[in-house]
Amino acid sequence: NMTMDGYEKQAQLFRALSHPVRLRILDILARQEACVCHLTAVLDQRQPYVSQQLATLRDAGLVADRREGTLIYYRLADEHLARLLGEGRAVVEDLGGDELAFPAVPQQALDNCPCPRCQSQVISGR
């Protein structure tokens, strides 16, 4: 049935989004591309767990990656995703009523990240 194909595809998208850690990863990547070690430090999660969530997002076509030396950098695959995340946040805030916390990236997480990008920020004092 052709009419359901679009809805099934949309359901796949929302299934990939239906996890708080994956949403947070996408939120981080909406600001800048990041390597796994950076995401691991920011999320305060173990690397295999973060890699597993990234694989789900990559399989859903939501993130793209590129290799730079030994590091792999992840980014949003589509700029509409950033807007979708913002709209989702707005709906949740409208429905929730209360103040909801969307935690910022803790500064010490960047200090703990070994990737060259974070280390250059640490050295330059941002």
Cβ neighbours for 51, distance < 8 A, ≥ 6 positions apart? 36
**Structure tokens that stand for 57 in this block:** 């997002």
pLDDT digit string, tens, across residues 89-121: 888 888 876 666 777 766 666 677 777 777 776
Query: In the β-sheet with 34-35, what is the strand arrangement from edge to edge?
Result: 34-35, 71-76, 63-68
Instruction: Assign 3 a pLDDT band (cuts: 50, 70, 90).
Output: low
pLDDT per residue over 49-85, tens digit each? 999 999 999 999 999 999 988 889 999 999 899 999 9
What mean pLDDT is predicted for residues 19-32?
A: 93
Q: Where are the alpha helices (DSSP H) in the chain?
A: 2-17, 20-31, 36-43, 47-59, 80-96, 107-112, 116-124
Confidence of residue 124 (pLDDT cuts 50, 70, 90): low
Residues 71, 37: Cα–Cα separation, whole Å? 9
Look at 33-37, 42-46, 73-77, 94-98 and tell me which has the smallest mean pLDDT: 94-98
Coil, strand or helix at 11: helix
What is the dihedral angle through the alpha carbons of 43, 49, 55, 57, rounded to the nearest 10 degrees?
-40
